[in-house]
């Protein structure tokens, strides 16, 4: 039985798709890999098909018209057979040596969400930053610690501050049946929809499995990536569109539990601050950025004021930073430094 389906959305990925697939192909027969060729204009489909031919029991290919990263996630979810579902971008790769331990753990779990460690690797500077999963004291025993710790959503919300750096698109996967039960389709033809993947499903998550293994290696430093500062600034409207969709979804599906509300106030404020960072610090058009930031701030204050109140201090700091020359360059240096995880943990509190 397949324990994990990894979806690999791929667009014009012929130069690096083999690195991604080599990290998974033939690694374990409990792993299913679905490559979604999203209307590529290069030889991505040929590369994907060559792996599917060599590993027919493990790797499948979906060939579709271009619809964006989110459309690939939606397409693979429809046909996934693994008990758990994860997304790995085509220019990233997994930690092959940890797959067996992770699959062993998934085989024993019925958690709705799973959090693993990940690393970012800057292909330009060579810097590697680790985002580990720290298991909470008292939740494991020597016999079970190899398989991590299972927490209720209430318990997870209480340690969110220490988990925030690992809790992200790259560190998350979901039980497939649970993911489908949300009946929520990822936004298509936009960037940054990975925030929907990392946030909205926690409206219904009841149990979270924390695994003390690194699984995902996240490549940064490529000019074509959404994480690139200039691309983020160009696509700020996509980020705003995704964020307002998340806000609306939360507002109309607001949970009853106090701990879950507190969790979402924190989590949605983190996403909100990410938008402020793009338009106020990373963008070169600071005047327009201040206007856009104030517009979204007003919208959030009207819809869910507690979220903006939680983010207000960081908003004001970045508004001041928008008046400082070279603030974006300083932020980039911090982003690519070993101290970034410590900064992020403090910044998100």
**What tens digit of pLDDT does each residue of 155-179 get?**
999 998 877 767 889 999 999 999 9
Are 173 and 237 members of one domain?
no
The pLDDT of residue 228 is 52
39 plus 117 within the same structural domain? yes
User: How distant is the alpha carbon of residue 160 from its chain centre?
Assistant: 15
Q: pLDDT tens-digit profile of 133-147?
A: 988 876 665 555 567
When the pLDDT of each residue in the chain is averaged and rounded to a whole number, the result is 88
Give the per-residue pLDDT at 207. 97
Select the more confidently predicted residue: 195 or 127: 195
The torsion region of residue 326 among left (phi > 0), alpha (psi -120 to 50) and beta comes to left
The separation between CA 196 and the C-alpha centre of its own chain, rounded to angstroms, equals 8
Say whether both 247 and 164 belong to one domain: no
**pLDDT bucket at 284, cuts 50 / 70 / 90:** confident
Instruction: Report the alpha-carbon distance of residue 152 to residue 267 in Å, rounded.
Output: 17
The pLDDT of residue 143: 56
Q: Are residues 131 and 245 in the same domain?
A: no
Q: Looking at residues 100-115, what average pLDDT do you find?
A: 96
Q: Do 216 and 239 reside in the same domain of the chain?
A: no
pTM for the model: 0.89
User: Whole-angstrom distance between the N-terminal and C-terminal Cα of the chain?
Assistant: 41
Q: Which range marks the domain in which residue 302 is found?
A: 229-347
Cβ atoms within 10 Å of 106's Cβ, excluding its own: 23
Regarding whether 8 and 54 lie in a shared domain, the answer is yes
- d(CA 250, CA 256) in angstroms, rounded, equals 12
Is there a single domain that holds both residue 266 and residue 191?
no
Is residue 220 a contact partner of residue 121, using CB atoms and an 8 Å limit?
Answer: yes
Higher pLDDT, 190 or 147: 190
Least confident of 14-23, 226-235, 320-329: 226-235
Question: Rounded to a whole number, what is the largest CA-CA distance in the chain?
Answer: 57
- Do 114 and 258 lie in one domain? The reply is no
Please name which of 306, 300, 296 lies closest in space to residue 263, comparing C-alpha atoms.
306
Tell me how far apart the alpha carbons of residues 105 and 126 are, in angstroms, rounded to a whole number.
31
- Same domain flag for 126 and 273: no
Give the residue-averaged pLDDT of 2-6.
98
Residue found by looking up tokens 């204009």 in the block = 41
Q: What is the pLDDT of residue 179?
A: 96
Final residue of a structural domain among 182, 200, 220: 220
Q: Are residues 201 and 320 in the same domain?
A: no
Residue 297 has pLDDT above 90, yes or no: yes
Number of domain units in the chain: 2
Same domain, yes or no: 65 and 108: yes
Among 220, 245, 260, identify where a domain stops: 220
Give the per-residue pLDDT at 52: 98
Q: What is the CATH number of the domain that holds 175?
A: 3.90.550.10
Segment 107-125 shows an average pLDDT of: 91
Please count the other Cβ atoms lying within 10 Å of the Cβ belonging to residue 201.
18
Domain finish residue from 161, 188, 220:
220
Q: For residue 184, what pLDDT is reported?
A: 86
Q: What is the Cα–Cα distance from 220 to 340, expressed in whole angstroms?
A: 14
- Burial of 211 per CB tally in 10 Å (0-12, 13-18, 19+): buried
- Per-residue pLDDT for 285 more than 50? yes
Let me know whether 188 and 96 are in one domain: yes
């Amino acid at each position: 039985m397949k324990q994990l389906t990894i979806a690999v959305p791929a667009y014009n990925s012929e130069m690096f798709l083999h690195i991604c697939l080599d990290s998974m192909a033939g690694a374990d027969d409990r792993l299913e890999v679905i490559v979604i060729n999203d209307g590529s204009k290069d030889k991505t489909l040929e590369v994907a098909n060559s792996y599917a031919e060599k590993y027919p029991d493990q790797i499948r290919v979906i060939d579709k018209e271009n619809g964006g990263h989110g459309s690939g996630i939606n397409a693979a979810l429809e046909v996934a057979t693994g008990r758990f579902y994860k997304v790995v971008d085509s220019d990233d790769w997994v930690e092959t040596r940890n797959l067996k331990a992770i699959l062993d753990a998934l085989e024993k779990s019925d958690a709705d969400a799973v959090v693993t460690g990940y690393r970012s690797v800057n292909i330009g500077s060579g810097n590697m930053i680790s985002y580990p999963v720290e298991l909470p004291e008292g939740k494991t025993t020597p016999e079970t610690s190899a398989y991590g710790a299972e927490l209720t959503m209430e318990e997870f919300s209480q340690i969110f501050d220490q988990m925030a750096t690992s809790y992200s698109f790259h560190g998350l996967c979901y039980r497939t049946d649970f993911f489908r039960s949300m009946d929520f389709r990822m936004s298509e033809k936009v960037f940054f929809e990975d925030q929907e993947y990392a946030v909205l499903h926690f409206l219904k998550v009841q149990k979270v499995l924390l695994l003390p293994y690194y699984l995902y290696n996240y490549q940064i430093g490529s000019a074509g990536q959404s994480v690139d500062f200039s691309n983020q600034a160009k696509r700020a409207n996509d980020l705003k569109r995704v964020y307002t969709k998340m806000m609306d979804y939360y507002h109309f599906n607001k949970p009853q539990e106090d701990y879950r509300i507190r969790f979402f106030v924190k989590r949605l404020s983190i996403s909100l601050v990410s938008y402020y960072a793009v338009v106020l610090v990373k963008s070169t058009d600071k005047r327009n950025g201040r206007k856009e930031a104030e517009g979204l701030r007003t919208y959030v204050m009207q819809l869910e004021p507690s979220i903006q109140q939680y983010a207000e201090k960081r908003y004001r700091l970045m508004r001041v930073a928008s008046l400082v020359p070279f603030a974006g360059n300083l932020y980039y240096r911090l982003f690519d430094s070993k101290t970034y995880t410590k900064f992020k943990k403090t910044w998100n509190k």
